[in-house]
Amino acid sequence: MLATFVIEIAFAFYVIWRYKMTNVTRLVTAILVCLATFQAAEYMVCGGLGMQAGMWSKVGYSAISLLPSLGIHLTLAIAKKKNPLLLAAAYGSAAAFVAYYTVATGAISGQTCYANYAVFDVYAASSVPYALFYYGWLMMTVWLAVRYSRATKHQTRALRALALGYSAFLIPTSAINLIDPSTISGIPSIMCGFAVILAFVLVGKVAPESISQKSPRQSLRLRMPF
């Protein structure tokens, strides 16, 4: 958890240092910060610095609840498409879950730390709606990225990389849950563990490919093998 946090927050600072701040790079940075925030919260929940676990659980869930809408927004930004209704629905649903997990009493009642992941005890009635919200928007991100990569003549490689980056943590998480159903309760932790792959793709491929105006420092561009 701590190592993943260091990687993701370092990537966020790298993007800020390396590129001119555009809508795309701001969204890439926001995704990296949210990923890092969840890892930091998970580390704190599992005994880091003796902080109050309940508070960090709320911070962690708030951070990951923003990821699907940020993915939708980033896809639209890279493809240079406008869809205010879709963005309003994505951010609106995210805001509703952030408010619920932050304010509602009993929304997150506890947590258990295992060797490789943490399980957060959430109110049972919210589990299915949250899963539909989360997986639905993430799959929408992949679908839009693939669709726009075929329909546009620009940013094709960036969009394909984005679709690959999201698939790279959705598919392994789903596979683990199918192999061992007992891990379903740890989906947020397991998914964000695999999401470090997305962080590498964002920094190594999506950001470089989507920048049209290069800054002087972009000659140091990080290469990815695809």
pLDDT digits (tens, 9 = 90+) for 176-186: 767 766 555 55
Residue 16 is predicted with a pLDDT of 93
Residue 41 is predicted with a pLDDT of 83
The answer to whether residues 117 and 46 touch, using CB atoms and an 8 Å cutoff, is: no
What six digits make up the tokens of 131?
Answer: 């899963």
pLDDT digits (tens, 9 = 90+) for 203-217: 998 988 887 534 444
Spell out the residues 6+ positions from residue 173 whose beta carbon is closer than 8 angstroms to its own. 187, 190, 191, 194
Choice among 31-35, 60-64, 111-115, 129-133 with the minimum mean pLDDT: 111-115
Provide the residue ranges of all domains of the chain, joining segments of one domain with +. Answer: 2-211
Closest CA to 16 of 33, 3, 4: 33
The answer to whether residues 36 and 9 touch, using CB atoms and an 8 Å cutoff, is: yes
pTM of the model: 0.84
Average pLDDT over residues 107-121: 67
Bridge partners (DSSP) listed for residue 113: 118
Fold of 2-211: Rhopdopsin 7-helix transmembrane proteins (1.20.1070)
Spell out the residues 6+ positions from residue 110 whose beta carbon is closer than 8 angstroms to its own. 53, 120, 121
DSSP state of 221: P
Choice among 6-15, 44-53, 73-82, 203-212 with the minimum mean pLDDT: 44-53
pLDDT digits (tens, 9 = 90+) for 17-62: 998 889 999 999 999 999 999 888 888 877 666 667 677 788 888 8
Buried b (16+ CB within 10 A) or exposed e, 130-148: beebbbebbebbbebbbeb
Longest Cα separation, the chain: 52
